[in-house]
Every structure is written in structure tokens, then in C-alpha cells.
Structure 1
């Protein structure tokens, strides 16, 4: 994913900037959600201030404690004991804010124990910064959660058909930002009726479940689990109109991004990254109260690492072609369209391909009536390495996953089902389907 891959980045940067020295403890007042949302949704994006991140983290933990749950507090304590120098200041400031809040609100024995636990963690010596050694992806372990990493997401998309051939697309993405920020985005595209339905929700730590040994992730009612080496189940309600109950099983080996599973993020450190590029789907879809069997094909991405994004956008393409090939094209850029890094990863049958160049022509634009943002809905993408050209068009223009709530600090983006035509070097044409994800452009540009 990328998925809306760097969504949590506006939060992550504040862990790094100015975090080495604790500084004065912030006030234990509640965060101003209006200012958080306004800052996060500016274009180009800006970082939350360090104090705003601290307030948001501490408030999440404080609210859970008030409800009698210590899930978030324990996650913070575990995270705080392992933080190296760049993040120790944020750790200490959150701890001081929690201590102040606990002292102000309660004086019972349990709150005193909680204060003592925080104080003991804050006395943990700070670790020196040391580069991590490279470890190849181990699928027996790495499909699960990586709690020591700052950012992680599990991302599913797919294309479904009912028995009468009615097509649907879906997006499901779980985001995790250490230590206690969790949010999920889910969406369904109803191509026949030109209807796009989505939800963006934040979840408290006590509403979240993970497994370390398998890809089990549950955020409130949005749930997925690993049922085999590369098999998964999805149980996902969407917007009160749809419910996905799907079983997915990989038909190919994982695509290890860039050959070693590492991608150089423009800001922060590398991210581990793999894709399952063709998942056979069987299950049911509840649409407007009617339950129907569905079949189709899906895609899954998983990324984790110490990374963030502040000034970048991206264009991410996933293509599943009828000739059995799949393509993961990932291009970083500035919001004005200036090109940064680009990565080509593909499965040509069972053979992986890795490269560093593709070209984008933007043929049709759509301006969101909801947000006023500019997105592309028709592209021509050229991969010089294979001498192939991809004609890409969205099945409907409005597939914007927009932030609509004051407390929703994640950026707005476009994530949509598309139809693909691959033109081979000999001129022959192959049909396919895909999902495209990109941030808005501050100006319309045709080609790079």
C-alpha cells in the first residue's frame, strides 16, 4: 500500500522533529481536534506540531483509562521502553502529560500504580541510535504485526462479480502508528450504479486486535485473519450499505518488492514491502440488504518500517492482466507533480521483474465537488523496460476517500477501481483490471 501508504505520516514526523529533549510538559488539556484536522488537511501537507501529537496520543490513553481499560497505557509503556534517542523526548512528554492528568483526576490506589508504572518506564535508559541490519522477509513471522516499527499497514483491494456479472470493487486498509493510533479505511465501488461508498474510522487501543505470528488484524467490526500460508478471510461492513464476507487464497508466490523487500521511502528510513498480486476470491457480498455469492480476484500489500511523509505525494498503480501478469508501479512526487523516485515491480507469469522507471501521461482530470481537489481519472503509463504501454481509465470519477470529520487527521486521497488495456510491443492488446491510488495535484500537468 502503499497503499494510501503514508497516510499516518503527518503524525510520525512529530516524533522525530525536536524530540530529543523533553522540554516542558504540555498542558493536560484536551487536544483541539479542529486545529488537528485543519493542519493535517492542508495542501501541501504539513506536520502536526510535536505538542499536538503528544496531546493526541496522551488523550487516547487517558480516555481509555477513564473507561477502565489499560490497553493503551500498556502499549505506550512497551513502546516507551524500546525507544531510541530521536523519540525519547516525545516518550517523556507523553508520560509527563499522563502523570499530570492522573494526579488531577484520581487519587485512588490504581491511579497511583499507573503513575508509578509510567515513572519507572521514564527512568529506562535511552538507547543509542544504531542502524538495523537487513533481514530478509520471513513469511512465517512477518505477516503479523511489527510493534517495534513506527508505521505499518495491511492493504486489500479486489474485483468482484455476482452471478449475473454485476461488478464491484473494494478497498480495505488498516493503519497502525506507534504507540496507540489506529485507523481503517474501507470502500466499495458499485460500477453499475456509479456509486462509491466509504468509511474512515479511528479506533481506541482496546478495540484493536493483532497477532504476531499471522496476519490477523481486527479494528472494531473490520476484521481479517490468515487462514493458511497465503490465505485470508475478510469480514468487513462498509457504510451501512455493504458487507464483505470473503475468502482469499494466493495463486502466486509473493512479489518481493525491489527483489530484497525494501523500498527507499523519500522521508524517514526504508520500509519492508511485499505484495500478493493475485488472490482468488470466493464469498458473499451483502449489498443494500441483498446477499449474493461473489467470485473475483484480489490484491494484498503489507508494509512496515520507520518512515513518514511530509512534503511528498505519490501515484501507485496495481494492474492484474488477463494474460496472467501483474504490475506494481509506485512513483513518489511532490504535490506540484515534480517527479521523485519510481519503482517497477511485476510478476510476468511466475517470473518477477524489478526496475526503476516508468512514465505517466495524465489524460483526463476530475475536480472533486466535495473538496475542490484535482485528481486524474485517465492515464497512459509506459514501462520502457518491457516496452509496454498501459491505457488506464477509472470506472467512475468519484472514488475520493475524503476526510469529513473534524477528528479525522488523515489526508484525503483518491483510490479507485480502473479498467486497463496493455499494449504489447507487437501491438496486441490485453485487457485487465486495477486499483490506482494518488494524492491530489496542486496544478494540472500532462506528462513528466
Structure 2
């Protein structure tokens, strides 16, 4: 457990934005089945960045994955305040630390000239309301519901696709790390949600339903602008539990096991072993897309593998690209009586820092 801190997370206050943070994000993923036979995964992250409350910038990345055809559609948009912060603060700071990084020099010069590098687009407008918590990023929206701002509705609207989803939590909020501050950032999740909604593309419209995950993190941290990375796993087991696993580079690893009743078991005693890599033709990054993970304190051994290798996403900024996508998990858990049982499930894997 990390050292004690005075602030304690509570809803609905902490569902909304935090002005004293320089980085904050609201993140979700879901696995969905359509009424016309389609199988999908959807991910989105709404970022809010900036050193001061005045001038906060807004950035959204989201993905629609067709699990049947193994195709994904990535979207990345930011507002003028993010662009200004990149040019005035974050890219100069990074280039002081990495003066020979020619790719970031090219990005810096493009932004200075007013060019927006593909595939990114500009948000026309963005705002966040506190009461009730609502995020409006161009045509995209995330709106929390109820007195405790527990569940939420989301709309992701692009030129050729539209996604509408409703998340209803199936268990209590999980304070990650046991107290909601495992490292530099405050962190809570609802790791199992019932999800229903609609996915519309050029080819068809389907009503969808399935399960999903939600994270909210905020605080003061400079890992992204320094070019640091991490490996993150949000895994939903078929037995009703979830695993939130992470290792920072540099930093302490962590494992959280969220029980069916919402209790969180936390340990730093976890090992990650990279088994198989996939190399991107766009960035030349080598991403580890297959892992062996062991959590001795809980008697858990896992094999995590990407649903398909090419799930890279280009993003704006020093880290340039991430691997963010659907994965499947198998494994075994040793029980108190000395026997073991099999584990299986689905989830998302986030690999950051490999394209630097």
C-alpha cells in the first residue's frame, strides 16, 4: 500500500474535472454483440491537460474494432488549447531532454506552421460541466447519471460512424491500490458494467449489448511529456472478477484483483514476461502482444494474448503511438486446498512508450 494521503475519493464530486491536475482522463472499453450478428470492441479516452485551470486543453482518442473482420477504426482529435500547450510547453520540454529526436522536431515544426499531422483532426469546441458532470468534445459526449454520477451515457460521432452506449455499473466503485492513489495519480474504476446501445456505420446499424470497463485518473504527472511508458491490462474474467495490472517504466508494478462484491486485493508482487512481438510498419515500434504474468500472492498465472496484432494507434505528442486493443486471457489459479482451477476472460491491453 502506498503512503497515507489526506484526500479521499468520493462521488459525485470526483466524477467531474479537477482544476489542480495537469493531466486527467476518463477512459472506457466495452465488448459488444450486435442484433445482426456483429461482434465489436469500443474504446475511448477523454483527456484534459494543462498546467492551470485557465487554458486547459481537451483531447480524445477512440476506436471501433470489428472483432469478426479484425479491423479497427481509430480517431484522434484535439482542440487549439492542446496545440498551444504542445508548442509552448510540452514539446520544448521534451526536446530539452531528447534534443536528437528528429521525429519530434518535425512534429514541432508542423504545429508551429499550423499543420495538423494526419490522422489527427481538430475539435471545433470542447467543454466540461461539473454539475452534473458532462464532457462535450466536439460531437462526442460523456454524461454521468444519477445523484452519485455512477453510470454514464457516451456518444462517439464521426463522419462515417456513430456509437451510442449506456454504461450501468454491476458492482461498487473500486479504489485502485486499495485507497485510490497507488502512485502519482488518483485512480478509481468501475470494472464491470452492463452496456447497451447502438453502432452505426456506412454498412449497417446494429443494436448492441455486452460488458464494459471504466477508469478515471487525475493528478500532476509528467510521464507522457518525458516519453515514459507503461504496460496496462484491464481483464474481465468469466468468473465475475476483474484484474487491473500495470507496470510503469520506471516505477513500481501493481496488481489489483476486484472481487464479485467489489472488494479490492492489492499487491506489488507481480512479474511480467514478454513472449511474442509484433512490429509496426508505420512506426517501426515492436510491441509485445503476448505475455506471461504471475501474481504469486494470489496464486495466479496468466497468459495474455492480443485478439490480433495490428492494434496500434497514432497519437499526438512525444510518445507518438500506442498499442491499445482487445486481448484474451487464460490461466490458472492455485486454491487454498492445494488444487487449482482454470481462468479465462477478455480485456484490453495498453502498451505505451514503444514508439519513442
TM superposition score category, shorter chain reference: 0.7 to 0.9
1:397 equivalent to 2:309? Answer yes
Tell me which of 300, 303, 319 is aligned to 1:388. Answer: 300
Instruction: Flag the structure with higher strand content.
Output: 2
* Structure 1 position 263, deviation (Å): 2.5
Tell me which of 228, 236, 246 is aligned to 1:330. Answer: 246
* Secondary structure, aligned partner of 1:385: helix
Tell me which of 269, 272, 279 is aligned to 2:193. Answer: 279
1:423: which partner in 2? 332
Alignment of structure 1 residues 47-446 onto 2, 5 Å:
134-178=6-50, 179-204=55-80, 207-228=125-146, 229=148, 230-238=150-158, 240-264=159-183, 270-309=184-223, 310-334=226-250, 340-350=251-261, 351-403=263-315, 411-425=320-334, 426-441=339-354
Alignment of structure 1 residues 21-36 onto 2, 5 Å:
none
TM-score, normalization by structure 1: 0.63
Instruction: Flag the structure with higher helix content.
Output: 1
* Structure 1 position 311, deviation (Å): 4.9
* Structure 1 position 192, deviation (Å): 0.8
- Checking the alignment, whether the CA contact within 8 Å between 2:227 and 2:353 is kept in structure 1 is no
- Checking the alignment, whether the CA contact within 8 Å between 1:202 and 1:408 is kept in structure 2 is no
- Checking the alignment, whether the CA contact within 8 Å between 2:319 and 2:353 is kept in structure 1 is no
Query: Partners of 1:213 and 1:327 in 2: how far apart?
Result: 31
Structure 2 CA distance for partners of 1:393 and 1:288, relative to 1, 3 Å: farther
- Checking the alignment, whether the CA contact within 8 Å between 1:319 and 1:433 is kept in structure 2 is yes
* Structure 1 position 133, deviation (Å): 6.4
* Structure 1 position 329, deviation (Å): 0.6
* Structure 1 position 148, deviation (Å): 2.4
Aligned length: 298
- Checking the alignment, whether the CA contact within 8 Å between 1:142 and 1:214 is kept in structure 2 is no
* Structure 1 position 408, deviation (Å): 5.7
- Checking the alignment, whether the CA contact within 8 Å between 2:234 and 2:245 is kept in structure 1 is yes
Query: Partners of 1:214 and 1:377 in 2: how far apart?
Result: 39
Structure 2 CA distance for partners of 1:365 and 1:409, relative to 1, 3 Å: closer
Structure 2 CA distance for partners of 1:317 and 1:213, relative to 1, 3 Å: same
RMSD over aligned CA atoms reads 2.1
* Secondary structure, aligned partner of 2:298: coil
- Checking the alignment, whether the CA contact within 8 Å between 1:422 and 1:431 is kept in structure 2 is yes
* Structure 1 position 163, deviation (Å): 2.6
- Checking the alignment, whether the CA contact within 8 Å between 1:374 and 1:440 is kept in structure 2 is no
Deviates more, 1:199-208 or 1:354-363: 199-208
Structure 2 CA distance for partners of 1:362 and 1:408, relative to 1, 3 Å: closer
- Checking the alignment, whether the CA contact within 8 Å between 1:143 and 1:214 is kept in structure 2 is no
> Which digits, 9 at most, give the CA deviation of each residue in 1:275-302, with x for residues without a partner?
1100100111113341111001111111
- Checking the alignment, whether the CA contact within 8 Å between 2:319 and 2:355 is kept in structure 1 is no
* Structure 1 position 430, deviation (Å): 2.8
Deviates more, 1:273-282 or 1:200-209: 200-209
- Checking the alignment, whether the CA contact within 8 Å between 2:228 and 2:353 is kept in structure 1 is no
- Checking the alignment, whether the CA contact within 8 Å between 1:380 and 1:389 is kept in structure 2 is yes
1:82: which partner in 2? none
- Checking the alignment, whether the CA contact within 8 Å between 1:375 and 1:439 is kept in structure 2 is no
Structure 2 CA distance for partners of 1:357 and 1:214, relative to 1, 3 Å: farther
- Checking the alignment, whether the CA contact within 8 Å between 2:322 and 2:355 is kept in structure 1 is no
Structure 2 CA distance for partners of 1:300 and 1:363, relative to 1, 3 Å: same
1:63: which partner in 2? none
* Secondary structure, aligned partner of 2:297: coil
Query: Partners of 1:388 and 1:259 in 2: how far apart?
Result: 19
Deviates more, 1:249-258 or 1:282-291: 282-291
Query: Partners of 2:210 and 2:133 in 1: how far apart?
Result: 21
- Checking the alignment, whether the CA contact within 8 Å between 1:368 and 1:398 is kept in structure 2 is yes
Query: Partners of 1:215 and 1:399 in 2: how far apart?
Result: 31
